[in-house]
Structure 1
Amino acid sequence: MTRTVESEHEHEYDVVVLGAGPVGENVVDRVRAAGLSAAIVESELIGGECSYWACMPSKALLRPVIARSDARKVAGLRQSVYGPLDALEVFAHRDEVVGDWTDDGQVDWLDSIGVRIFRGHGRLLGPRRVEVAGPEGERHVLTARHAVAVCTGSRAVLPDLPGLSGARPWTSREATSSDRVPGRLIVVGGGVVGVEMATAWHAFGSKVTMLVRGGGLLPRMEPFVGEHVAAALTARGADIRTGVSVTAVVRDGGTGPVTVVLEGGDHVEGDQVLFATGRAPRTEDIGLEKVGLKPGSWLDVDDSLRVTGTDWLYAVGDVNHRALLTHQGKYQARIAGGAIAARAKGTEALDESNWGAHAATADHAAVPQVVFSDPEAAAVGLSLAEAERAGHRVRAVDLDMSHVAGAGLYAQGYRGHARMVVDLDREVILGASFVGPGIGELVHSATVAVVGEVPIARLWHAVPSYPTLSEAWLRLLEAYRS
């Protein structure tokens, strides 16, 4: 939706936000609710990466994949769902979910809460000042009375490899928006994006080869999680190669098959290659040098999300590199918005203590994540290794999820695993990890236990309904007491 704006003007607001993804939207929502005026600057679609090229389209692709897989494990139903997925219908639904890559609805919402939208590229001119270069050459200078929040997110990183620039590789954006199924898809990387997209495109009919530099999939989770996911992908026909490094990519003329060359001279041929090899902050051209910061860098912040060494600049979401997850960025936005409003009013005391209203403590202690693979993977808080490195005296309690009555009802031949990491000195849970069909919905109960620092003795009184997957909690507590 294009707006008609003045050719060159100066404007003043209490708060100016760079980036109108979910994080920026939540910042302006909070400051507007507190009575502050706000403007938001966006060079692409209002709603950001998550809405159009990441969370929403990827889950629209994955939902029928996982639903079909689960149905095939249910007696009396499996024979009805052995046909192929209708990829075109799935793509059409995905397009509907992302609004056909239009942002009118998001614009209407910002209008409804009184936020001024500036389309164009925003750059800092100095403390509390932002220049916006509009799409038709118009120029605006925005002054923030109280705060500027950088919420520009992150972008996919492509490695510097011979031949890659001319090979038309996919990044996460192309992988979530493509409407064509490649016959052979090579996925470079074994993290969340690589695993989810390998799961989706294999189900749509691609022959998938995964090339993983490390020793396994999902390396930031407990080792058993990646092992379960890898075993399932392999059983369905994916080729997973670990401990390999890519040295070059060859695609003559940018068309036809692509060849990925590996260290040692081996190679893999495919019709498309997806590089899911990391993210970089979108801070390379937003004027950081004008305020003494390094362009292209991650921005260091305190727990109120204020950039170190400033009293007016905030960095919220991916750009601060604390937790590159949409839900965690939105959490940070709620914290930052409250802190900005409190400081602006000057009459409200900030609570920056652990778990205080103006401290993003969960970034350190309780980051939840669900990987929509098949089987699903989920975790919150510290893994066993992380807890040990942090100096805690801990015990890991493990559970074969097939021992839970609800698991056998959820799926015949259910395979999964759960672990909770217990602080032995305080007898509270520091972290929990799950892998198995349907376990994505278990992670919030674990998150509540970790954030609330609920004593193990009290958790005995949180009775799980029978027969559900949540009975895993009872089995874990029994194992801890044994």
Structure 2
Amino acid sequence: MLDVDVVVIGAGPVGENVADRVVQGGLTAAIVERELVGGECSYWACMPTKALLRDAAALRAARALPAAGQAVTGTLDPAAVLARRDRFTSNWNDAGQVEWLNQAGITLLRGHGRITGTRTVTVTHADGTTTTLQARHAVVISTGSSAYLPPIEGLADAAPWTSREAAAVQAVPERLVIIGGGVVGSEMATAFSALGSEVTLVSQTRLLPGVEPFAGGYVADGLRTAGVSLQLDVDATAVRRDDAGVHVTLSSDRTVDADEILVATGRMPNTKDLGLDQVGLAPGSWLHVDDALGVVDDAGNPVGAGWLYAAGDVNKRAMLTHHGKYQARALGDAIAARARGEQADLSPWGRHAATADQRAVTQVIFTDPEIAAVGLSAEAAAQAGLKVRVVDYDLGAVSGAALHADGYRGQARMVVDENRNVLLGFTAVGPDVAELLHAATVAIAGEVPLDRLWHAVPAYPTISEIWLRLLETDGR
């Protein structure tokens, strides 16, 4: 048996950050990983997918300017795009991240970890041997999530891609059908159409239902312009694969033929075989947590007498890598503080409270055009019973945007709390709007009154001038 202060199950970005903060706080930590150290983000999500998208975005940006567009000759080279993607995944070799763990003083155990008792985790290694870890203070579950496959007739037998296969693709298919119109589906439609695939995207809903409708509308227009066939408000009812490829039957009675099918219809928690039954929880379930990220049951009671925690996708609070790492920093510091006999600061916006997951969730969607969003949408604010006003402005009318690209199209929106006159939400859609996001995040997290935002003067001529235009439009 190996005794350590904290055991972390899952060595993705979230688990790495928990373990690192624990060690920085003076404790010892062991981290358990059954796949690659670095997790989904490093090898099958954030990094490889953005590498697939970046070359095409740069090419579009050059072509949006007359002189630069004339200087660009030829077309995108898919092989070069995939080679650059491979560099960002280190060719799916985690040696560099393992070295980082060693330098940070974190003990790595490769294998599958299961809870087998109070603060006890048993690791089964690839050769069948086991190691038992006993935690003095805490066990943290940060095992993330996996792609969900819906019960569509014939789908499981059709060898579908999930986000993993799409991110790690070695050859671009001539025809690709995507089931799902969320972030993954929209980004991969953007990427593969730019790489030369004939793409059809099928969605039960409007495109990108999680963001403001106007933002999803801009992306839908962009995909159609790129040649993507959008089948919206339509279900895939059956899938069949034969020697000619994949055939998808739609509820509209149309059949879509393709070489590959990508399913992007949501995520499910990686908790099926973690020993959750040992602490009275159902295997395969999302883990509910309290304000301290301690695992609780359906009634809100602490599980495991306060020693079991969950961070990242697995608690479903904000399924984004940057928010998982934010949770991890707060949690690791809190565990270390408690171990020193200190009380964790869980006050609103306190050092150990992950309150941004409730008020200021940030997201960039790397489609064409980009979407940047933080906080509440107008619909979400209304559903929460808040009295708000909505302020919209045409990004293309901003001088900095007009200089940025000929024919710049986009829109920005503020959602303002009427009672407190502070920003509750911000959404922008347009080329390169990602860099607008952090200013909005600071305004929301800092609860900066709009009267004070008038004195945050944007540089001219930049796209950030949108802030002045929104305030002028608001007129208060």
Task: Please report the TM-score for the alignment, with normalisation by the length of structure 2.
Answer: 0.97
1:365-404 to 2 correspondence within 5 Å?
365-404=359-398
What is the match of residue 76 of structure 1? 67
Alignment pair present for 1:340 and 2:331: no
Q: What are the superposed Cα offsets for residues 289-343 of structure 1, whole Å, 9 maximum, x if unpaired?
A: 0111110000000122111113000000000000110000000001111111122
SS at match of 1:166: helix
Matched, 1:351 2:345: yes
CA–CA distance in structure 2, aligned partners of residues 328 and 264 of structure 1: 38
Verify: 1:234 aligned to 2:228, yes or no. Answer: no
Q: Deviations over 1:57-92 (max 9, x none)?
A: 000010111111111101201123353211101101
Determine which of 214, 226, 233 is the counterpart of 1:224.
214
Task: Give the letter for the 1:277 counterpart.
Answer: T
Displacement after TM superposition at 1:237 (Å): 1.1
Distance in 2 (CA, whole Å) between partners of 1:376 and 1:265 is 33
Question: Per-residue CA shift, 1:384-417, capped at 9, x if unaligned?
Answer: 1111111211100001001110001110000000
Distance 1:324 1:34 in 2: 26
Instruction: Note the 1:47-446 alignment, pairs <5 A.
Output: 47-81=38-72, 83-214=74-205, 216-252=206-242, 255-308=243-296, 309-310=302-303, 311-346=306-341, 348-446=342-440
CA apart distance, 1:28: 0.4
User: How far apart are the structure 2 equivalents of 1:406 and 1:72?
Assistant: 18
Q: Distance in 1 between matches of 2:108 and 2:31?
A: 5
CA distance in 2, matches of 1:80, 1:323: 43
1:478 paired to 2:472: yes
CA contact (8 A) 1:429 1:450 kept: yes
Once residues 256 and 242 of structure 1 are traced to their aligned partners in structure 2, the CA distance between those partners, rounded to angstroms, is 25
**Counterparts of 1:264 and 1:454 in 2: how far apart (Å)?**
49
Q: Distance in 1 between matches of 2:343 and 2:311?
A: 21
CA displacement at 1:195 relative to structure 2: 0.5
Q: Match of 2:299?
A: none
1:193-234 CA distance string (max 9 Å, x none):
0000000000010011110101x1111100000000000110
8 Å contact kept, 1:303–1:358: no
- Counterpart of 1:293 in structure 2: which amino acid? L
Does residue 467 of the first structure (1) align with residue 467 of the second (2)? no
Give the Cα separation in 2 of the matches to 1:190 and 1:273.
Answer: 14
CA contact (8 A) 1:72 1:82 kept: no
- Structure 1 distance, partners of 2:112, 2:58, is 41
SS in 2 for 1:195: helix
Structure 2 CA distance for aligned equivalents of residues 95 and 28 of structure 1: 27
* 1:266 Cα offset (Å): 2.2
Mapping of residues 1-12 of structure 1, within 5 Å: 10-12=1-3
Whether the aligned pair in 2 keeps the contact of 1:398 and 1:418 (CA below 8 Å) is yes
Question: What secondary structure, in the 3-state scheme, does the structure 2 residue paired with 1:251 have?
Answer: strand
For this pair of structures, how many residues does the alignment match? 469
Using the TM superposition, give the Cα deviation of residue 262 of structure 1 relative to its aligned residue in structure 2, in angstroms: 1.3
For residue 12 of structure 2, what is the amino acid of its counterpart?
G
The structural deviation recorded for 1:179 is 1.5
Residue type of the partner of 1:332?
Answer: Q
The whole-number CA distance in structure 2 between the counterparts of 1:340 and 1:349 is: 10
Determine the C-alpha separation between the residues in 2 that align with 1:33 and 1:283: 28
Q: Percent of counterpart pairs with the same letter? A: 57
Distance 1:360 1:208 in 2: 39
Q: 1:166: how far off?
A: 2.0
CA–CA separation in structure 1 for the residues paired with 2:215 and 2:440: 16
Q: Could you tell me which amino acid in structure 1 is paired with residue 63 of structure 2?
A: R
416, 441, 449: which one aligns with 1:447: 441
Q: Report the aligned-residue RMSD.
A: 0.9
Deviation digits for residues 334-391 of structure 1, max 9, x if unmatched?
1111111122121x22211111111110001000000000100010000011111112
SS in 2 for 1:462: coil
Aligned to 1:6: none
Deviation at 1:264, TM superposition (A): 4.8
In the TM superposition, residue 148 of structure 1 has moved relative to its aligned partner by 0.3
Per-residue deviation, 1:137: 1.8
Letter in 2 for 1:344: A
CA contact (8 A) 2:166 2:262 kept: yes
Q: Give distance in 2, aligned partners of 1:388 and 1:35.
A: 45
Give the whole-Å Cα distance in 1 for the aligned partners of 2:138 and 2:373.
34
- Per-residue CA deviation, residues 232-282 of structure 1 (Å, 9 max, x unaligned), is 110121110111111110012xx4311001125321111111110000000
